């Protein structure tokens, strides 16, 4: 980064740390924080979409659709998160490659499952062996993102289902009495009203999602936990910047990062809750049948 970093072993303490903290691996470490923010920015709406679909399916009059929605919510919520995080990306990866294998290599009749190995033709692999390294990293990240969406979508679905049940039935029946269709009642009455009841549960789910981002390390994504362990470990004289075991300092930095991040999130969610409750209170105070202008008292 700096010109004087050419000979780190001859630097004084302050310059040594300035070179150490701006080295190539540390820049990758800093970039991994962006990976976490991108994951949260994509996983939250994706999980909310999964949750909305599953909650809506759980209220369906069709017994098959209702069973699918409730089974998805119950099954995912009942399995330990780590087991699902380790299973979903592998299962999805093999499912995608199996479909591509059957499509692109129909002449190969050998089974893809050969003992403990999963063997597909070369053109069916995801990504291709000839793909650049960043494509492998993006593919792994997308699999991890889908795993987060599926897992947290079940929890969001349970929250949204409870919120839908909390909406007074009298409002829905009144809307139907005015001639609204089921879709109109859902879109104009149920959907806007349920967010008031769902927001507390969804705010808790957001906090849990933040705390679950270190699980990216288990999914093979080089996130902040991976780099904290990698950079903090003891480095001998063969390394450009030798140092003792500093993992405690790196993980302490991650602790501060997550405390600050969750603190800011809690403050923002508190402001949102206050605004929603205020808007709800103001709506409830409005007179139902206001007198027309100029009417006699």
Find the mean pLDDT for residues 209-236: 87
Cβ contacts of residue 94 below 8 Å, gap of 6+? Answer: 118
Tell me, what's the pLDDT at 52? 93
64-98 per-position pLDDT tens digit = 999 999 999 999 988 887 888 888 888 888 888 88
Cα 227 to chain centroid distance, Å, stands at: 20
User: Phi and psi (nearest 5°) for 296?
Assistant: -70, 145
Give residue-wise pLDDT tens across range 22-61.
Answer: 888 889 999 999 999 999 999 999 999 999 999 999 988 8
| Top-confidence residue, 93 or 256 | 256
pLDDT given at position 170 = 85
The pLDDT, as a whole number, for residue 280 is 65
Distance CA 237, CA 243 (A): 8
Residue 183: partners with Cβ closer than 8 Å, 6 or more residues away: none
Spell out the residues 6+ positions from residue 57 whose beta carbon is closer than 8 angstroms to its own. 65, 66, 68, 69, 70, 72
Classify residue 21 by its DSSP letter: T
Residue where the block lists tokens 């302490």: 252
pLDDT greater than 90 at residue 220: no
Please determine, for residue 19, whether its predicted confidence score (pLDDT) is greater than 80: yes
Q: How far is CA 115 from the centre of its chain?
A: 34
Three-state secondary structure readout of 83-118: HHHHHHHHHHHHHHHHHHHHHHCCCCCCCCEECCEE
State residue 79's pLDDT score: 83
Mean pLDDT of the chain: 85
- DSSP bridge pairs for 86: none
**CATH of the domain spanning 34-226:** 1.10.3720.10
Backbone angles phi, psi at 235, to 5 degrees: -120, 125
Q: In degrees, to the nearest 5, what angle opens at C-alpha 137 toward C-alphas 213 and 239?
A: 90
Question: pLDDT for 119-153, tens place per residue?
Answer: 888 888 888 777 888 888 888 888 889 989 999 99
What does the pLDDT read at residue 275? 82
Higher-pLDDT residue of 44, 21: 44
Q: Is the pLDDT of residue 279 over 70?
A: no
Structure tokens at 290: 């206001």
What average pLDDT score do residues 178-196 get? Answer: 85
Res 6 pLDDT > 80: no
DSSP for 122-158, written as a single string: GGGSSS-TTS-HHHHHHHHHHHHHHHHHHHHHHHHHH
Residue 259: predicted pLDDT? 93
- Write down the pLDDT at residue 262: 93
Mark out the alpha helices in the chain (DSSP H runs): 13-20, 24-58, 63-78, 81-104, 133-166, 169-177, 182-185, 191-212, 224-232, 247-285
Query: Is residue 39 classed exposed, middle or buried when 0-12, 13-18 and 19+ CB atoms within 10 A define those classes?
Result: buried
The token pair that represents 282 in the structure block: 């103001």
Task: Say if residue 20's pLDDT is above 70.
Answer: yes
Closest CA to 283 of 202, 198, 204, 171: 171
- Provide the pLDDT for residue 250: 92
Centre a 10 Å sphere on the Cβ of residue 253 and count the other Cβ atoms it contains: 13
pLDDT for the residue numbered 251:
93
Q: Is the pLDDT of residue 286 over 60?
A: no
Give the Cα separation of 218 and 85 in Å (integer). Answer: 8
Q: Is the pLDDT of residue 297 over 80?
A: no
For residue 243, what are the β-bridge partners?
A: 235
Residue 123 near residue 110 (C-beta atoms within 8 A)? no
Q: Which residue has the higher pLDDT, 261 or 131?
A: 261
Residue 182 pLDDT > 90: no
How large a percentage of the chain has pLDDT more than 70? 91
Locate the domains of the chain by residue range: 34-226
What's the confidence (pLDDT) of residue 4?
67
């Amino acid at each position: 980064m700096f010109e004087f970093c050419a000979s780190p072993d001859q630097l004084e303490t302050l310059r040594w740390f300035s070179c150490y903290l701006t080295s190539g691996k540390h820049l990758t470490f800093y970039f991994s924080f962006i990976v976490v923010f991108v994951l949260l920015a994509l996983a939250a709406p994706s999980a909310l979409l999964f949750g909305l679909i599953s909650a809506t399916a759980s209220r369906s009059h069709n017994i098959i659709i209702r069973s699918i929605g409730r089974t998805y919510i119950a099954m995912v919520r009942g399995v330990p998160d780590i087991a699902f995080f380790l299973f979903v990306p592998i299962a999805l990866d093999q499912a995608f490659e199996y479909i591509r294998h059957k499509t692109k290599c129909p002449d190969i009749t050998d089974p893809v499952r050969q003992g403990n190995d999963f063997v597909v033709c070369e053109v069916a692999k995801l990504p291709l062996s000839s793909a650049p390294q960043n494509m492998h990293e993006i593919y792994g990240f997308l699999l991890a993102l889908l795993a987060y969406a599926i897992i947290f979508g079940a929890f969001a679905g349970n929250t949204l289902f409870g919120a839908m049940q909390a909406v007074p039935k009298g409002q829905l029946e009144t809307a139907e009495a005015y001639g609204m269709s089921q879709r109109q009642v859902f879109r104009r009455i149920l959907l806007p009203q349920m967010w008031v009841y769902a927001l507390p549960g969804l705010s808790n789910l957001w906090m849990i999602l933040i705390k679950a981002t270190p699980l990216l390390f288990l999914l093979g994504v080089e996130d902040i936990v991976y780099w904290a362990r990698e950079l903090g470990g003891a480095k001998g004289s063969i390394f450009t910047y030798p140092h003792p075991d500093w993992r405690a300092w790196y993980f302490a930095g991650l602790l501060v990062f997550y405390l600050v991040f969750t603190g800011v999130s809690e403050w923002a969610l508190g402001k949102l809750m206050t605004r929603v409750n205020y808007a709800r209170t103001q709506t409830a105070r409005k007179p139902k049948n206001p007198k027309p202008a100029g009417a006699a008292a």
